[in-house]
Amino acid sequence: MTELSPPAARPPTGHAVIQSYLKTLDSSPGVYRMLNAANEVLYVGKARNLKARVSNYARPSGHSARIARMIRETATMMFLTVRTETEALLLEQNLIKQLKPRYNVLLRDDKSFPNILISREHRFPQIKKHRGKRSEKGSYYGPFASAGAVNRTLNQLQRVFLLRNCSDATFESRTRPCLLYQIKRCAAPCVGYVSEADYQALIEDAQRFLEGRSTTVQAHLAAEMAAASEALEFERAAALRDRIKALTQVQSAQGINPQGVAEADVIAVHMEGGQACVQVFFIRAHQSWGNRDFYPRTGAGAEEAEILEAFLAQFYDDKVPPRLILLSHPIEDEDLTLALLSERAGRKVELAVPQRGEKAELMENAHRNARESLARKMAESASQARLLEGLAEAFDLPAAPKRIEVYDNSHIMGTNAVGGMIVAGPEGFLKSQYRKFNIKGTEITPGDDFGMMKEVLTRRFERLLKEDPDRETEAWPDLLLIDGGAGQVSAVHEIMAGLGVEDIPMIGVAKGIDRDLGKEEFHRIGQRPFALPHNAPVLYFVQRLRDEAHRWAIGAHRQKRAKAIGATPLDEIPGIGATRKRALLAHFGSAKAVSRAGVEDLKAAPGISEAIAQTVYDFFHDRG
């Protein structure tokens, strides 16, 4: 008779486990983590008083369904004490971003917002779109909700204020005014058609407009027009009339022009079916600069107050908060959130939940947009779920894929080669997770698509294996789609086998008979190719995935090619950054002229010391 050993006892979980930690805690502020039996972090929270907060979880009843479920799963806890409550909030947000716990609210959009920049590194400043770190000297205005909103505003500003948008290198090389001057969008400072003082006046007017003082600008232009008419300068008066007309159109084109709100972010949340949409409207200079919707992960059913509080801390992690933030719902730790936002802004920030008046109207508009956006999102998600289930059925997958990665390459005769990866899942295209790979392999023959794909997949999955060898995160794909036939699929299978990753299904999408759309053939390892019915929704879905990968790869290739075309030998010289490069090109006119200059001539360029001049001279004359 065989003696059976008793099953291993599961570690205890629940409020009793949490209760056991109370005797080790004091009233310090800090951060706590709740972990399950598999040592996975379930939740990260902050506390003004750790002992008081944890004692709430130790109660056997009185919790929401979400919190009760989280408590039941808790097997261990971890604690970190800090000096201040603000430090606890900062640490909490850093851990949420790093660990992505299941029960925390998580903002899943990490894109930066564009701004308008009026540069200050040139005597005739350039106006342009700017995204990312504010490292360039100048005045920044924003954020705008999208690149489209910035571009529309820039076009309007050019019509009214005639500011240049060309690069400094283009500016210095021009001998005749460009088309923008001909269509009355630029004052042509590049060829001396406007004095430095008059151009500076245009800059100041543009800044007044972007700061919300458009009535001052309009009065100034009207006075100038009247003076020009009295002086019988009818052509100048007509030009000023056109600018006033353009300014009036700009003001009337704004969707919302709140008279009593100069600067604010209007943030509304709407919940339905366990999902949430947060709508943000950007009000600057008494104008609406667009809106953006977000769909944060709700932490298995968090309520509006918790969602908004988490959203504020995460959204303004890398953005400067405005002076006023209007909210649709009050938040719990308002004082703590205000302290954090004010610290990030370097000035006082106000939070308000408007109840009446113009601010309440702004909030009502934002909340309506949140409700409508969530309804559209839920309809799209239901449709997407059906497509993913159809994909699993068509390709014999074990389950509907949660993450599909699609790969494509783009090049011209092997030059400026780029690999592209797009990602799709239950929520559609996940554009924040798209990646591009500059092909670096020197041994790859130009135009070798197999070699390029090998490099891309090797880099992608070697990194995954290094960062998440146990596949604990959602970064691992459930399906690979490859643009190509049997040969491409076989090559990819060989690459993945070499990396030790052989359990991810892969499908090759080939053009099929006559390379016609709708006649695609699908290839899998060890199976005969097959086609889908011409009108099958899954076929259209795969075509969309392939086309999106193709669009992304071509865009990355064009960007790389354009950058290569604009490159000069000066880019390779140690110690020559953007400012010195501009100074040399402005002084000599071209990189070729720089290469022919002597040390004394180089020293004559602004900002070029004797040591730098010698470095530049040696670069062009000591190359063997």
CATH, residue 38? 3.40.1440.10
CA–CA distance, 252 with 256 (Å, rounded to integer): 9
Residues 491 and 461 in one domain: yes
pLDDT the model gives residue 43: 96
Tokens of 98: 């790093």
Cβ atoms within 10 A of the Cβ of 193, count?
14
Chain mean position to CA 250? 27
- Write the CB contacts of 6 (distance below 8 Å, at least 6 apart in sequence): none
Q: How confident is the model at residue 255 (pLDDT cuts 50, 70, 90)?
A: very low
pLDDT at 254 over 50: no
Q: What confidence score (pLDDT) does residue 350 get?
A: 95
Parallel, antiparallel or unpaired: strands 521-523 and 428-429: unpaired
Tally of domains in the chain: 5
Residue 357 falls inside a structural domain: yes
- 559 and 575, same structural domain? no
Whether pLDDT at 9 is above 60: no
The phi, psi pair for 568, rounded to 5°, reads -135, 160
Residues 420, 549, single domain; the answer is yes
**Residues with Cβ within 8 Å of residue 558, at least 6 apart in sequence:** none
Under DSSP, is residue 568 helix (H, G, I), strand (E, B) or coil? coil
Residue 86, domain extent: 19-99
Residues 529-543: what's their mean pLDDT?
87
Instruction: Give the end of a domain, one of 99, 126, 153.
Output: 99
Task: Answer for the pair 541, 504: CB distance below 8 angstroms, yes or no.
Answer: no
Q: Residue 265's closest CA among 392, 399, 130, 142?
A: 142
For the residues 584-610, what does the mean pLDDT come to?
A: 83
Confidence of residue 104 (pLDDT cuts 50, 70, 90): very high
Residue 3: pLDDT over 80:
no
Band of the pLDDT at 444, cuts 50, 70, 90? low
Positive or negative, the CA dihedral 249, 252, 256, 258 is positive
Indicate whether 408 belongs to any domain.
Answer: yes
Task: Using DSSP bridges, classify how beta strands 479-483 and 506-510 pair: parallel, antiparallel or unpaired.
Answer: parallel
Decide if 62 is inside a domain: yes
Query: Could you give phi then psi for residue 355, rounded to 5 degrees?
Result: -115, -25
- Per DSSP, 543 falls in state H
Q: Is residue 142 part of a domain?
A: yes
Q: For position 28, what pLDDT does the model report?
A: 93
Could you write out the DSSP letters of every residue in 293-321? EE--B-TTT--HHHHHHHHHHHHTTSS--
Would you state the pLDDT for residue 535?
A: 80
| pLDDT at residue 253, rounded to an integer | 45
Q: Is 397 within the bounds of a domain?
A: no
Q: Mean per-residue pLDDT for 63-92?
A: 93
Report the percent of the chain where pLDDT is more than 70. Answer: 88
Domain boundary, last residue among 68, 99, 130: 99
Answer yes or no: is pLDDT of 81 > 90: yes
**Strand order across the beta sheet in which 350-352 lies:** 287-294, 275-284, 263-272, 324-327, 350-352
- Give 514's DSSP letter: G
- On whether both 414 and 466 belong to a single domain, the answer is yes
Q: Is the pTM of this model over 0.95?
A: no
Residue 581 lies in a domain: yes
| The token pair that represents 151 in the structure block | 């571009």
30/151 same-domain check: no
Same domain as 460, residue 537: yes
Q: Are strands 404-412 and 479-483 parallel, antiparallel or unpaired?
A: parallel
Are residue 146 and residue 244 in the same domain, yes or no? yes
pLDDT recorded at residue 445: 63
Cα dist. 239→159, 162, 163, 178, 184 in Å? 11, 11, 15, 18, 9
- Is the predicted pLDDT of residue 624 greater than 50, yes or no? no
Query: pLDDT tens for residues 358-376?
Result: 999 999 999 999 999 998 8
| Judgement on whether residues 156 and 48 belong to the same structural domain of the protein | no
Taking 80 as the threshold, does the pLDDT of residue 95 lie above it? yes
**Residue 394 belongs to some domain of the structure:** no
Tokens standing for residue 383: 């449709």
| 480 and 446 co-located in one domain | yes
Range of lowest pLDDT (118-122, 349-353, 420-424): 118-122
What's the pLDDT tens digit per position in 199-222?
998 898 888 878 767 666 666 667
The chain-wide mean pLDDT, for the chain, equals 84
Query: Which has more pLDDT, 255 or 124?
Result: 124
Q: Which of 369, 290, 317, 347 is nearest to 116 (CA)?
A: 290
Is 9 inside a domain boundary? no
Pick the more confident residue, 150 or 403.
Answer: 403
Q: Are residues 171 and 43 in the same domain?
A: no
Do 77 and 120 fall into the same domain? no
Name the DSSP letter for residue 264: E
CB atoms within 10 A of CB 3: 4
Do 555 and 591 reside in the same domain of the chain? no
Domain boundary among the residues 339, 358, 376 is at 376
